Amino acid sequence: MSDDTRMTGDSRPVRVRFAPSPTGYLHVGGARTALFNWLFARHYGGVFVLRIEDTDRLRSTEESTGGILSSMRWLGLDWDEGPEVGGEYEPYFQMQRLPFYRAAVEQILDQGKAYYCYCTQQELVARRKAALTEGRAPGYDRRCRYLSRREAAAFEAENRKAAVRFAMPLEGETIVDDLIRGRVRFANEQLDDLVIMKADGIPTYNFAVVVDDILMKISHVIRADEHLANTPRQIRIYEALGSPVPRFAHVSMILGEDRTKLSKRHGAASLSDYRDSGYLPEAMFNFLALLGWAYDDKTEIMTRNQIIERFILEKVSPAPAVFSKDKLDWMNGVYVRTLRPEELGTRLLPFLEKAGLRTDKETVLRLVPLIQERIKRLSDAVDLVDFFFQDEMSYDPRLLIGKNMEAADSLDALKRVHEVLDRVPTFDEETLERTLRDLAKQLELKAGQLFGIIRVAVTGKMVAPPLFGTLSILGKERALSRIWKAEKALADLVDPEKM
């Protein structure tokens, strides 16, 4: 047994897949499942397949497919086989693989391990409801499994469309040896005869997934916990098809802060929402990897390669994890701070433009040093720098009054600031700081008192980026004009009559 075999529990070449259904955006939970598959493949030098399970004709859309692919790419999860890249086992859209499913159904039908079911959906729904109210199991009652030839012919004569059901074993048990959960046993009497092909000739999920995983030679099925209960049925289908059963690993689900399954109700649940609100893909990647997996007792921040190198299924937790936005925010901030300034500027630009700020790369680059360690998300930058781009600011003039000062004193101080700045030889940070600190001393004010007044005057805010950098970037002309306006506002406050 090779090392890899011991670790992956299987001697076949590693081939895993992520198989989303294109009925919406890529959900955070789905992204984590995709990530774990991808990491597993990359760690063992295997193949990562992307397959689109679009057999739900009502809900599947092309837009969803496009959105999922772009979210995957944004996260950096490249697929070796799948849409747009092709591969040995194409096509990778299930609706283009119908002949494969039909052949497989025939094969099972021929063996007598499946049968036609003529029950209509209305009948099924009614019976299920009745069973539930009477406290019986809601599963299919198997009546068509025992149809006589004559009865079947009668239904055919009625022109009823038949679905195909799989004949599950009635007794014994089916064992799932899960790589994360260990051995899980299911009594076969619990498994009902599921539909494997709908009356319209389209396979159901539980069947298509097995057929494709066989055909695509998937060695490990890493998927969400919610599929564990489906697994024994799928194992029976593998066996009926005479194929080796892959190894299974059921990853726990991701919960919202209220400990229910994460969904739109919890705010952003789609990966694209996170992208749009300014999270970095590298932070998201790191964060998602840590949801249910940990390297050791202290490491939080890891590069993509470190994670690939360290990721093993044995360290994946079986317990569900709550998605903590607080921690994501923190981690995103860490990644924002490690970005090279030019890089951060590049990423910031679209967010500022989207907010309606008329800016350009060069300006943003000058702003970056002032805000890099002050933002967690890229979109946070907007509130921090918008005043640079606005000609008219509106703020409460009372904010111009310095701490523990009167309006009149503040006005006097601001006038002195105006004079001093007007005479200052250069408008660089160092000069500004020296000059203004000296002034504060002269006025017998604390630095914070004076700087606070100036801050409000030039930014309109109590909280803003560092003052001297701000003044310098703003430039003498704009800074003085803002100070002048502030003086007027303060003067009104001191003596409203004198307008």
Q: Catalytic residues, which ones?
A: 264
- Identify which range of 105-113, 181-189, 361-369, 473-481 contacts RNA by CB under 7 A: 181-189
| Member of 439, 468, 482, 487 binding RNA (CB under 7 A) | 468
Q: Let me know: does 312 contact 102? Beta carbons within 8 Å.
A: no
Q: Does 471 interact with RNA (rule: CB under 7 A)?
A: no
Q: Do the bridges between strand 195-197 and strand 163-166 make them parallel or antiparallel, or are there none, so unpaired?
A: antiparallel
Q: Using CB under 7 A, which residues numbered 261 to 290 contact RNA?
A: 261, 290
Strand positions, DSSP E, 45-109: 47-50
Helix (H) or strand (E) holding 184: strand 182-187
| Member of 110, 362, 373, 392 binding RNA (CB under 7 A) | 373
- Identify which range of 79-87, 302-310, 389-397, 460-468 contacts RNA by CB under 7 A: 460-468
Using the minimum distance from each CB to RNA, give the nearer residue, 88 or 300: 300
Q: Using CB under 7 A, which residues numbered 317 to 336 contact RNA?
A: 317-322, 324, 326-327, 329-330, 333-334
Q: Do the bridges between strand 163-166 and strand 114-117 make them parallel or antiparallel, or are there none, so unpaired?
A: antiparallel
CA distance 50 to 36: 13
DSSP letter assigned to residue 248: E
| Member of 56, 90, 282, 492 binding RNA (CB under 7 A) | 56
Residue reference for tokens 């799932």? 176
CA distance 13 to 308: 18
Q: Report the nearest approach of RNA to the CB of residue 165 (Å).
A: 8
Using the minimum distance from each CB to RNA, give the nearer residue, 133 or 394: 133
Q: Using CB under 7 A, which residues numbered 377 to 436 contact RNA?
A: 433
Pairs from 477-482 (Cβ < 8 Å, separation ≥ 24): 479/421, 479/427, 480/418, 480/421, 480/422, 482/393, 482/457, 482/458
Q: Report the nearest approach of RNA to the CB of residue 456 (Å).
A: 10
In the three-class reduction of DSSP (H, G, I as helix; E, B as strand; rest coil), residue 245 is classed as coil
The closest alpha carbon to 28, from 271, 291, 267, belongs to 271
Q: Does 65 interact with RNA (rule: CB under 7 A)?
A: no
Using the minimum distance from each CB to RNA, give the nearer residue, 233 or 418: 233
Q: Report the nearest approach of RNA to the CB of residue 56 (Å).
A: 3
Q: Report the nearest approach of RNA to the CB of residue 496 (Å).
A: 28
Q: Using CB under 7 A, which residues numbered 34 to 53 contact RNA?
A: 53
Q: Does 152 interact with RNA (rule: CB under 7 A)?
A: no
Q: Does 212 interact with RNA (rule: CB under 7 A)?
A: no
Q: Report the nearest approach of RNA to the CB of residue 54 (Å).
A: 7
Q: Report the nearest approach of RNA to the CB of residue 449 (Å).
A: 8
Helix (H) or strand (E) holding 400: none
DSSP letter assigned to residue 19: -
The CA-atom distances, in angstroms, between 375 and each of 384, 386, 388, 460 are 9, 14, 17, 19
Using the minimum distance from each CB to RNA, give the nearer residue, 158 or 497: 158
Number of residues that bind RNA (CB under 7 A): 92
What is the phi/psi pair of residue 275, to 5°?
Answer: -60, -45
Q: Could you tell me the two tokens for 425? A: 């030889």
| Member of 419, 447, 475, 495 binding RNA (CB under 7 A) | 447
Residue reference for tokens 């590069």? 303
